[in-house]
């Protein structure tokens, strides 16, 4: 390990030593806090010319970040393993001749309930953000909401047993599970995304000489982008659990499909607890939502001038609030994107049920979406993005998000075409499974279910640009005191998309589905166009915005075991 001289490092640098623990040493020359590094790099601050001309690369990913990724993988394994069979569980009858079922609610009601669940799952992240920021910190919040999550899973497992379904407990148990499980997953969501990025503590670019002799820039922005690509890759590895659960649903029963993810969540909880001393966290400071609301109210009374609130709340807080509002404006088009995304979990599965599945579960093809993401993220991370950086071709966040919107719109246009194909095919044409020729729903229209493949793949590609970049943007543009809140607001856009889905779900039925999909495609394309024209100017200030907190010592990260939370203080006073 090498130690850099104090005059070669910024006084606020915070990095890991070889043991991955966070340590500060004092330079005798000026008393400033510096750290040891072991990256085998020059570590010098690059000049403006070097920043503009040298290739930018990512840094080494900390061990603790991989642990957080495993926790998220386990949580997503659980979530998608459970929700994969949901549409069949709700829509189809227990005695359906072709498809697994339990509650027999029909397509429109099942789709509406699915959207309600998604809505709830993406409202609760704001609560998780408040709990973390005000009282317990992100690490403890994740642990707390995981325990709540487990309670919801237990309710679903028990009420999906044949005896429970026979006694009419299925619907009540499902709704109870949705409420409890939505609270658990939402509380995890708003905290795990910032937590993984906080494991990387470098804030400023540095020079590095590769073994080839090439001089490059270690760029924190590139590293955070890589972190979120890894994070999203692990999410989609976890989401493949629905491959197993839909087969268990088909071959055994729903209780078996729900037991597997229930057990797997304990893997994530074990990783969270065992790795406690490895994580780097920021201590809770208190919820800023109340003060933010008061400041916004004061600004509104003064002609929407935010500076009018400075005398009461201070310049730093108001500047942070301004940054939060800028980040949140970028999110305002996302409800349209998430409305489109929600079709995969609902109407696409119902569409597959009207096609020739050749013995495959109709909800199996959903897994083509995460498989495409798992394949294409490494291609983008190791091939496309480095190639573009080498050619000095900027592919900044606003551009990536816009590209994601257009890919999503193309997937829905394709789905409209497939639906028209189904309607043009016998035996039931515009009313699949509903005519006498279908033999009471046993004979689907003669279109192979594999025709859905491009729709799932295109949505997967769109996520790499729109969803991953949205997570990255929410973290990098939010001030330290509001990162969980801003992440919660970003996730809230999914709830708004689900609310729109609930409102339009009565129209998602035959013979209206071609128009339904075409309208969503058109609205998404318009949203992508409007997004570009509204926010393209943010690309020009990307690096400047990312460097605002480079000198911020107030929220210095520390090992999780050393962070005193409000819970700990309460215990020390009362016991």
Whether residue 53 sits in one domain with residue 25: no
Task: Look at residue 560 and tell me if it is in a domain.
Answer: no
Nearest alpha-carbon partner for 463 in 338, 367, 345: 338
Whether residue 272 sits in one domain with residue 182: yes
DSSP 457-485: HHHHHHHHHHHHHHHHHHHHHS-GGGHHH
């039931």: which residue's tokens? Answer: 428
The per-residue pLDDT for 207 is: 92
Three-state DSSP at 288 gives coil
* C-beta neighbour count of 135 within 10 angstroms: 18
Nearest alpha-carbon partner for 369 in 394, 398, 349: 349
Three-state DSSP at 25 gives strand
The per-residue pLDDT for 553 is: 52
Give, in degrees to the nearest 5, the angle at Cα 367 between 366 and 372: 115
The per-residue pLDDT for 568 is: 44
Whether residue 4 sits in one domain with residue 92: no
Task: Look at residue 68 and tell me if it is in a domain.
Answer: yes
DSSP 489-544: HHHHHHHHHHHHHHHHGGG-STTSHHHHHHHHHHHHHHHHHHHHHHHGGGGGGHHH
Nearest alpha-carbon partner for 181 in 162, 159, 161, 154: 154
Whole-angstrom distance, CA of residue 64 vs CA of residue 46? 28
Burial class (CB in 10 A: 0-12, 13-18, 19+), 524: buried
Q: Which residues, other chains included, contact 16 with Cβ-Cβ below 8 Å and sequence gap of 6+?
A: 22, 38, 62, 201
Question: Which residues make beta-bridge pairs with 280?
Answer: 559
Task: Look at residue 570 and tell me if it is in a domain.
Answer: no
Whether residue 32 sits in one domain with residue 65: no
Burial class (CB in 10 A: 0-12, 13-18, 19+), 320: buried
Whole-angstrom distance, CA of residue 265 vs CA of residue 258? 11
Question: Which residues make beta-bridge pairs with 209?
Answer: 215
Task: Look at residue 571 and tell me if it is in a domain.
Answer: no
Three-state DSSP at 177 gives helix
Whether residue 275 sits in one domain with residue 165: yes
The per-residue pLDDT for 385 is: 94
Question: Which residues make beta-bridge pairs with 215?
Answer: 209
Whole-angstrom distance, CA of residue 211 vs CA of residue 275? 33
Query: What pTM was estimated for this model as a whole?
Result: 0.82
Question: Which residues make beta-bridge pairs with 447?
Answer: none
The per-residue pLDDT for 284 is: 80
Whole-angstrom distance, CA of residue 389 vs CA of residue 203? 20
Q: Which domain holds residue 9?
A: 1-38
Nearest alpha-carbon partner for 49 in 215, 224, 213: 215
Whether residue 503 sits in one domain with residue 373: yes
Contact 505, 111 (CB under 8 A): yes
Classify the C-alpha dihedral 85-503-520-416 as positive or negative. Answer: positive
Task: Look at residue 361 and tell me if it is in a domain.
Answer: yes
Task: Look at residue 556 and tell me if it is in a domain.
Answer: no
Task: Look at residue 205 and tell me if it is in a domain.
Answer: yes
Whether residue 398 sits in one domain with residue 455: yes
Whether residue 75 sits in one domain with residue 3: no
Whether residue 265 sits in one domain with residue 377: yes
**What size, in residues, is the chain?**
575
Q: Cis ω on the peptide bond leading into residue 511 (within 30° of 0)?
A: yes
Whether residue 280 sits in one domain with residue 305: yes
Q: Specify the CATH number for the domain of residue 365.
A: 1.20.1250.20
Q: Which residues, other chains included, contact 379 with Cβ-Cβ below 8 Å and sequence gap of 6+?
A: none
Spans of the chain below 70 pLDDT: 1-42, 286-287, 546-575
Say how many domains are in the chain: 2
Three-state DSSP at 207 gives strand
Nearest alpha-carbon partner for 81 in 222, 207, 232, 263: 263
Give the CA distances from residue 367 to residues 52, 141, 237, in Å, rounded to whole numbers and listed in that order.
41, 30, 10
Whether residue 43 sits in one domain with residue 21: no
Nearest alpha-carbon partner for 203 in 339, 2, 17, 10: 10
Nearest alpha-carbon partner for 281 in 198, 190, 202: 198
Q: What are phi and psi of 538, to 5 degrees?
A: -70, -25
Whole-angstrom distance, CA of residue 441 vs CA of residue 420? 20
Give 564's DSSP letter.
P
Whole-angstrom distance, CA of residue 515 vs CA of residue 419? 9
Whether residue 353 sits in one domain with residue 303: yes
Enclosing H/E stretch for 208? strand 206-209
Task: Look at residue 392 and tell me if it is in a domain.
Answer: yes
Contact 194, 487 (CB under 8 A): yes
């915070």: which residue's tokens? Answer: 14
Contact 98, 270 (CB under 8 A): no
């Amino acid at each position: 390990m090498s130690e850099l001289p104090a005059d070669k490092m910024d006084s606020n640098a915070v990095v890991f030593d070889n043991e991955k623990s966070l340590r500060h040493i004092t330079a005798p020359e000026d008393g400033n806090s510096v750290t040891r590094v072991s990256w085998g790099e020059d570590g010098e601050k690059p000049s403006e010319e070097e920043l503009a001309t040298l290739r930018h690369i990512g840094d080494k990913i900390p061990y603790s970040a991989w642990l957080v990724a495993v926790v998220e993988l386990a949580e997503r394994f659980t979530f998608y393993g459970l929700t994969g069979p949901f549409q069949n569980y709700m829509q189809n009858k227990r005695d359906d001749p072709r498809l697994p079922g339990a509650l027999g609610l029909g397509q429109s009601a099942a789709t509406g309930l699915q959207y309600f669940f998604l809505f709830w799952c993406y409202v609760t992240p704001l609560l998780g953000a408040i709990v973390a920021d005000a009282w317990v910190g992100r690490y403890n919040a994740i642990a707390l909401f995981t325990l709540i999550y487990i309670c919801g899973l237990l309710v679903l497992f028990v009420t999906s047993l044949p005896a429970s379904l026979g006694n009419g407990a299925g619907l009540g148990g499902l709704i109870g599970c949705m409420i409890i499980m939505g609270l658990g997953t939402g509380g995890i969501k708003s905290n795990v995304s910032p937590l993984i990025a906080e494991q990387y503590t470098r804030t400023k670019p540095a020079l590095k000489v590769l073994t080839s002799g090439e001089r490059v820039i270690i760029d924190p922005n590139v590293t955070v982008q890589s972190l979120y690509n890894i994070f999203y890759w692990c999410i989609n590895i976890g989401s493949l659990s629905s491959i197993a659960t839909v087969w268990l649903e088909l071959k055994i029963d729903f209780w078996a499909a729900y037991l597997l993810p229930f057990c797997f969540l304990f893997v994530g909880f074990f990783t969270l607890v065992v790795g406690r001393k490895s994580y780097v966290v920021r201590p809770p400071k208190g919820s800023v939502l109340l003060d933010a609301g008061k400041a916004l109210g004061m600004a509104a009374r003064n002609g929407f001038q935010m500076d009018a609130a400075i005398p009461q709340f201070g310049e730093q807080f108001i500047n942070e609030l301004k940054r939060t509002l800028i980040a949140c404006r970028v999110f305002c088009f996302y409800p349209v994107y998430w409305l489109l995304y929600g079709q995969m979990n609902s109407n696409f599965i119902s569409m597959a049920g009207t096609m020739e599945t050749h013995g495959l579960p109709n909800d199996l093809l959903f897994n083509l979406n995460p498989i495409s993401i798992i394949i294409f993220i490494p291609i983008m991370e190791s091939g496309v993005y480095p190639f573009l950086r080498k050619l000095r071709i900027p592919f900044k966040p606003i551009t990536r998000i816009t590209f994601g919107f257009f890919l999503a719109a193309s997937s829905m246009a394709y789905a409209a075409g497939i639906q028209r194909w189904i309607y043009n095919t016998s035996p039931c044409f515009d009313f699949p499974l509903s005519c006498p020729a279908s033999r009471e729903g046993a004979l689907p229209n003669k279109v192979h279910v594999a025709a859905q493949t491009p729709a799932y793949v295109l949505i997967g590609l769109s996520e790499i640009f729109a969803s991953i970049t949205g997570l990255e943007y929410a973290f990098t543009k939010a001030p330290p005191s509001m990162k969980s809140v801003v992440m919660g607001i970003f996730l809230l856009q999914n709830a708004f998309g689900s609310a729109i889905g609930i409102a339009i779900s009565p129209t998602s039925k035959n013979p209206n589905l071609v128009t339904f999909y075409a309208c969503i495609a058109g609205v998404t394309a318009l949203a992508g166009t409007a997004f570009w024209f509204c926010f393209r100017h943010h690309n020009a200030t990307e690096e400047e915005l990312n460097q605002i907190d480079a000198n911020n010592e107030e929220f210095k990260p520390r090992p999780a075991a050393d962070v005193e939370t409000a819970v700990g203080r309460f215990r020390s006073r009362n016991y």
